[in-house]
Structure formats: C-alpha cells, structure tokens
Structure 1
Amino acid sequence: MKVLQRYVATEIVGAVFFVLVAFLALFAFFDLISELPEVGRGGYKLQHAFMYVALGLPGYVYELMPIAALIGTIYALAQLGARSEFTIMRASGLSTRMAGFMLAKVGVVFVLLTFLFGEFIAPASSQFAEKLKLQVQGSMISQEFRSGYWTKDVIRENGLTGDAIGSRFLNVHEVTPDGQLRGVTLYDFDRDFHLTGVVTAVHADYQGSNTWRLSDVSETAFSTGSPDITSTVKTAREPSRKLISEITPDILSVLFADPDRMSALDLSAYIKHLAENNQSTGRYEIAFWKKLVYPFAALVMMALALPFAYLHFRAGGVSLKIFIGIMIGVSFQLLNSLFSHLGLLNTWPALATALLPSASFLLLAIGALLWVERH
C-alpha cells in the first residue's frame, strides 16, 4: 500500500504542479499586459512591471490552489484509468474508501501550502509590491474621499490601558508608501460626544509601541463646562508631540487593502479594533473565516475529482473530464464570491457564509461517489 500511495501521490503532485504553473503563467501574462500602460510614469520601468507582476503571483497561488488540485487530480486519475491502472488497483482490492484516504493524505499537503501562501507569503508580497510601485512612481496612496482617510480610535485614561474616557476621529490627507501620515487632524470627543479639542499636524511618523510623533502641532481645546465664553477656547502650538493610539500603520493599511489578500492575523486585529469602536465588522469577519476555511477547499476539490476515475468515455475521455473539472472549479470560485456578497447583504453569520460553498461541493462529491459505487 505504501508503494501504491507513493505512486499515486507522485502522479497527482506532478499534475497539480503542472496545472498551477500553467495558470500562473496565464495570469502573469494578463497582469503584465495591464501594467504596460503604467511603464514610463515617474521612475516606473519595464523591470519594475515584471517585479510587480512576480510579487503578485503568491496571491494567485493561494486563490488557484483548489482549482489546480481539482484539475490536476482529475488528469492524474484519468490517466490512470486510460492506462487501466486504476482498474487493476480496484481488482487488487482498492476500495473507494481506501482511494479517498489516499487522496486525503495528498490533499493535506495542498491544504498546508494554501494556508502558508494565504497567511504569510501572499500578504507580505502583495504589500511589498504596492509599496514598490508607489515609491518608484513617486505617488501617494490615494483613496475615494476628497477629505482623506477617516478612522476612529478610543481615548483611554492611561494611553492604551484603563477605562475609555472619550473617542477620537483621525483624518489623514495623505499616506506615503513608507507609512508616514501627512495632513493629520484629530477630533477628540468626551463620553457624551462633546467636542473637546482639535489637533492638527503637518505630518506624523510611527515610532513603534503604538506611539506616533506629530510634527508642527496646532491644538484648539474646548472647555464645554465653563460658563465664561472667552475661556472655553484655548489654542497652542508645539514643534512636536507624542500621540499614543491603538491605530498603527498595519491598521491604516487595511483602509486601502483588499480584505481577501490580508492575513487572518491582520484581519483579526482589525476586527477587534472595529468592534471596540462600535463599527461594522461584517465584511472583515467573512474575509477572516474565508481565510481559515478556504485552504480546506483543496480537499473538497480532490474529493470531487475521485468519481472521475470511475467514469469511462469511449472517446476524448481525458479532455472531457478536464473540461468538466474546469467548469466545476470556475463554478466553485463564482459561488464562493457570490456567497460572500449575499452573506454581507443579508447579514448571515460569517462562519456559515464561509462554509456554505465548500460544504455544498463536499455534499456533491459524496453524492457522486455514492452514485458511481452503485453503478
């Protein structure tokens, strides 16, 4: 059995790797075509476009691994069936359960690879690619509002600890690729949402440990409880000031990052930040659970591929099976994306939204296996 396991695993891994490389080459070609109009803008040259496209490939590895596992496994099993090797295995006592167990062992490798790329490699490479492009082009990180970025923070008694004594709204006009904030405005409110102060700074640099260094600071403080109108407003200027805040460059990067390309760890931290500020977390909770569930889609896809080993076509068997596999893979991606939007619109539980596509295709795989066993 060990020899048979090794042989089947070698065939499947080779086929999946071949399919994955083919997909990556195709997507890289289209990405390079879309990047060519950017060449020549600032210092952005052709080699930078190639590097930008290459850094985006880990993200495609994460997205395409389940489809590659499906198509590659179908191809490997179809080849075994075309050479009558799978028939000999069955005649030698290989049951459907044993075949499924063999595929599951191989599938665990693909699950781990998908998780590795999705959690560590792809987020880092994607972030580095965006920073590289912005730095070379000499541009700022832009966004949709004319007034800049907006985010909310909690003011606590002892900086990061203690009871909440108010809220702070942070407005940033520009964010540079190296994480510096330009055109910073802070609006501080007490517990009753009375405006207590407005602080403006030319720029802010992150010093680590949740500490920002504000430069060229101007502060306007309001004393809401004073009966004297002349004493309710005070102004002051400082060359610099420290600001302790739960907001970090990693949290700010979420404002212009695609949640589907973030790591589960970053999503978890941002969900916590939003929850503490009584903001909606639905979109990021769905992305978080999808990040944890999606790697296991490779196992589901391989389970779907197993029934194809039992099907025999008179002509064009391998190509027909691969075509059906491609259609199943595309359907899975579309359904996965559809359920994310439906879950967000209908406020479905995030875990259920992430699980439904994979669970549906797993039931389909089980049904197909039961059907081929009976026929």
Structure 2
Amino acid sequence: MKLLDRYIGQAVIVGVFSVLAVLVALFALIGFVDELDQLGRGSYTLWHALLYTLLNTPRQMYEIFPMATLLGTMLGLGMLANNRELVVMRTAGLSLTRIVWAIMKTAAMLILLAMVIGEVIAPPVYEYSNQKRLELMGAKISLNTRYGLWARDGDTYINVRRVDSQSKLRGIHLYTFDGQRMQTVMRARSAHYDGEQWSLKNVTRYDIDDQALQTNKVDDLPWRTLLDPALINVVSVDPDTLPIWRLYNYIDYLRENGLDSGQYELAIWGKAVMPLTLAAMVLLAVPFVFGAQRHTGIGQQILIGFLIGIVFYIGNRLAGQMGLVYEFPPALAAALPTALVIGASLLWFRRLR
C-alpha cells in the first residue's frame, strides 16, 4: 500500500511542479518585459533587469502556488484517469477515501515547501532585489520594511511609516539638521498629493535651540519634496511580501501609534490560512477529476481548473478588500473563500461516494 501511495503522490508532484514551472516562467517573462521600461535610469541595465526578475521568482512562486496546486493535482490525477489506472485501483478495492488520503499526504509536503518559500526564502530575496534596484536607478530612498521608507532631501531626512497609495501617505516624520545639530522635527499624521504638490495634514513642528523647545501645530502645510508619486509607487512594499513575524511586529507598532493596521492584519491572516488554501485546492481537484473523467478530457479539465483558479484568486482578493472597506474581521475576510471551497469540495466528494 505504501508503494501505491508513493505512485499516486509522484503523479501529483510531477503535475504540480510541471504547472508551477510553466506559470513561473510565464509570469517572469511578463515581469521582465515590464522591467524593460526602466532601462537607462541611473546605471540600471538589461542584465540588472534580468537579475531582478530572477530574484523575484520565489515571491511569484509563492503567490501562484494555490493555482499551481489545483492545476497540477488535476493534471497528475487526470493522467492516471486517462490511463485507466484510477479505474484499476478502484476495481482492486482501493476506496476513494484511501486515494484521497494518499493525495493529502503529498499535499502536506507541498504545503511545507510553500511555507518555506513564502516565509524564509522570498521575503529577504525580494527585499534585497528591490533595494539594489533602487540603488542602481539612483533613487535617494532606502527601504526598511519594518520602519517604513527613508529618504534624504538636502539637510532633511524623511521617514514615511506607511504608504496607502501613490498619493496618500501616513505617519510622516521630517528631521532637519544644521550640520551635526538637529534643528527641527515635524510630524504629520498624513500627506496628500493634489497633482502638483504634497500637503501635510495635522502637523506638529518642534523647533530645537539651546534654550528651549518650541512647539507649533497647523492643520495643513504645503510640502515640497523629492518624493513624487511615481517614485513612491516603486518603493512601496506590499504587506504580502513580508514574513509573518515582521507583519506581527509592524501591527504592534501601528496599534501603539493609533494607526490603522487592517491591511497588515489581513495579510498576516492570509498567510496563516495559506496551508488550508493549498489543502482546499487539492481537495477540490479530487472530486473534479473523479466526477468528470467520463465526460471531459484532460485538456478540458485543465482549462476548467485554470478558470476555477482565476475565479478563486480574484474572489480571494475581492473578499479581502471588501473586508477592509466594510470593516469585517480580517480572519473572516481571509478565511471565507477557502472555507467555501472546502465546503463545496466536501459536498461534491460526498456525492461521489
């Protein structure tokens, strides 16, 4: 029986890695073409664009792993079904539950691999490649995923704690020096770009001299800076690219400073739910293949599986954003699509039995 488990598992693994290789290559090609627009900025060359694209493949691999798991499991089981091997197994007395158990043991290894890629390999590699890209382009910005982004504008050092969009920033700190001496500190709750310049909101300014510390507060203050929206779009970090432990620390920081942490809570719950999502994709593929093997070919199964994967990806993103807009609990917004897939798979599986 262990030999049969390995045989089924091998078919699933070959299918998953075949699909993963094709999808990663496709997304890498698209990403490389996008990078060609950046050639010529600073010392950024074609070789650097290629290297940046290659270093981004672990992050892309993690993002598309659920779809690759669904399609790969369908492909592996579909090949067994087309060769009538699944029919022989069932005729020999192997129950559908036993076949599913063999597949889920393989899924456990795939889940472990996805977690290593997403939490150990992808975050530092992505952070390194992004920082090197900025340096080569000559951008005067240093990115720190825990403490926001830093920039220098003459004698002023700028720290932005959170980037909501190209035209909206939160938690801005400006430190102005006169030689080695700090001259002023300004803190603004937010900043908005009106198409021509930035405007700081809820500003507190501290003027430092040898005698006293003077404090002034204003509601609105124009801000001229090198941080144009296009550059901010380049350096802003997607919460999904951070490992869980950094997300956890950053959420603590946001809460302590009275800032909205919903986007980062959604990201951390999405990562926590990822193992269940991968298991759900495998579970969905099993009844689909067994239920459709008499009516559809493997090509049709792959096409339908691809469409299901796209719908799930869009639905998962949509559920997360709707959760932020309507202030649903982040855990519910992150887990709802996966829970629906698991429920539908179990109902379908029950009908097959």
Please give the range of the TM-score, normalised by the shorter of the 2 chains.
0.7 to 0.9
Following TM superposition, by how much is the alpha carbon of 1:315 offset from its aligned partner in structure 2, in angstroms? 7.2
Question: What is the 5 A alignment of 1:181-260?
Answer: 183-184=156-157, 200-202=175-177, 215-218=180-183, 235-236=209-210, 256-260=236-240
**In the alignment, residue 4 of structure 1 is paired with which amino acid?**
L
* Moved segments of 4+, more than 4 Å: 312-316
Q: Where does residue 356 of structure 1 map in the other structure?
A: 336
The answer as to whether partners of 1:66 and 1:295 remain within 8 angstroms in 2 is no
* In 1, Cα distance between equivalents of 2:6 and 2:99: 13
Which amino acid is the alignment partner of residue 267 of structure 1?
L
CA drift of 1:21 comes to: 0.4
Shift, 1:278, TM fit: 1.8
Which deviates more from structure 2 when the two are superposed, residues 305-314 or residues 257-266?
A: 305-314
Which residue of structure 2 lines up, in the alignment, with residue 74 of structure 1?
Answer: 74
Closer, same or farther: CA 289–314 of 1 in aligned 2, 3 Å: closer
With over 3 angstroms needed to count, the CA separation of the structure-2 counterparts of 1:263 and 1:95, relative to structure 1, is same
Equivalent residues in 2 for 1:295-310, closer than 5 Å:
295-310=275-290
Residue type of the alignment partner of 1:184: Y
Q: SS state of the match for residue 339, structure 1?
A: helix
Aligned twin of 2:350: 370
Relative to 1, partners in 2 of residues 1:103 and 1:39: Cα closer, same or farther, differing over 3 Å?
A: same
Identify the residue that residue 109 of structure 2 maps to in structure 1.
109
SS at 1:236's partner residue? coil
Contact kept, 8 Å, 1:218 with 1:236, in 2: the verdict is no
**Match for 1:298: what amino acid?**
L
Deviation at 1:234, TM superposition (A): 6.6
How many Å apart are 1:256 and its aligned residue?
Answer: 2.6
Secondary structure class of the residue paired with 2:210? strand
1:372 deviates by 2.1
1: distance between equivalents of 2:270 and 2:155?
34
What is the rounded CA distance, in whole Å, between the counterparts of 2:174 and 2:314 in structure 1? Answer: 47
Kindly tell me: are residues 175 and 268 of structure 1, through their superposed partners in 2, closer, same or farther at Cα, counting changes over 3 Å? farther
Q: Please give the root-mean-square deviation of Cα atoms over the aligned residues, in Å.
A: 3.0
Task: Tell me the amino acid that sits aligned with residue 118 of structure 1.
Answer: G
Answering whether residue 241 of structure 2 is matched by residue 261 of structure 1, we say yes
- Relative to 1, partners in 2 of residues 1:173 and 1:282: Cα closer, same or farther, differing over 3 Å? closer
Deviation at 1:123, TM superposition (A): 1.1
Q: Does 1:323 align with 2:296?
A: no
Work out whether residues 199 and 218 of structure 1, in 8 Å CA contact, stay in contact via their aligned partners in 2.
Answer: no
Alpha-carbon distance in structure 1 between the residues aligned to 2:150 and 2:83:
65
Structure 1 counterpart of 2:101, which letter? F
Give the drift of 1:173. Answer: 7.1
1:27 aligns to 2:27 (yes or no): yes
Q: 2 CA distance for matches of 1:173 and 1:10? A: 48
- Say whether the 8 Å CA contact 1:9–1:106 is kept in structure 2: yes
- Equivalent residue number for residue 252 of structure 2: 272
Paired residue for 2:84? 84
Question: What is the aligned partner in structure 1 of residue 62 from structure 2?
Answer: 62
TM-superposed CA distance for 1:371, in Å, is: 2.0
Change over 3 Å in CA distance of 1:318–1:308 after alignment to 2:
same
Question: Who is 1:174 aligned against?
Answer: 151
Q: Distance in 1 between matches of 2:131 and 2:150?
A: 18
Inter-CA distance 140–64: structure 2 relative to 1 (3 Å threshold): same
TM-score relative to the length of structure 1: 0.72
Cα distance in 2 for residues equivalent to 1:185 and 1:141: 9
C-alpha contact (below 8 Å) 2:42/2:136 kept by paired residues = yes
Partner of 2:194: none
Aligned partners of 2:74 and 2:286 also within 8 Å: yes
CA–CA separation in structure 1 for the residues paired with 2:340 and 2:296: 29
CA shift for structure 1 position 354: 1.1
What is the CA deviation profile of residues 9-31 of structure 1, one whole-angstrom value per residue up to 9, with x for unaligned ones?
11111111010000011001111
Which one has the largest radius of gyration? 1
Q: Distance in 2 between matches of 1:288 and 1:118?
A: 12
1:44–1:137 CA contact under 8 A, matched in 2:
yes
Q: Tell me, which stretches of 5 or more residues in structure 2 are unaligned?
A: 160-172, 186-206, 212-234
Q: Quick check: 1:77–1:308 contact (8 Å CA) kept in 2? A: no
The equivalent of 1:156 in structure 2 is none
Aligned residues with identical type, % of pairs? 31
Structure 2: distance between partners of 1:34 and 1:103? 38
Match for residue 4 of structure 1? 4
Partner in structure 1 of residue 188 of structure 2: none
**What is the match of residue 162 of structure 1?**
none
Matched, 1:294 2:294: no
Post-superposition offset of 1:97: 1.5
Change (3 A) 1:99 1:37: same
Question: What's the CA shift for 1:182?
Answer: 6.6
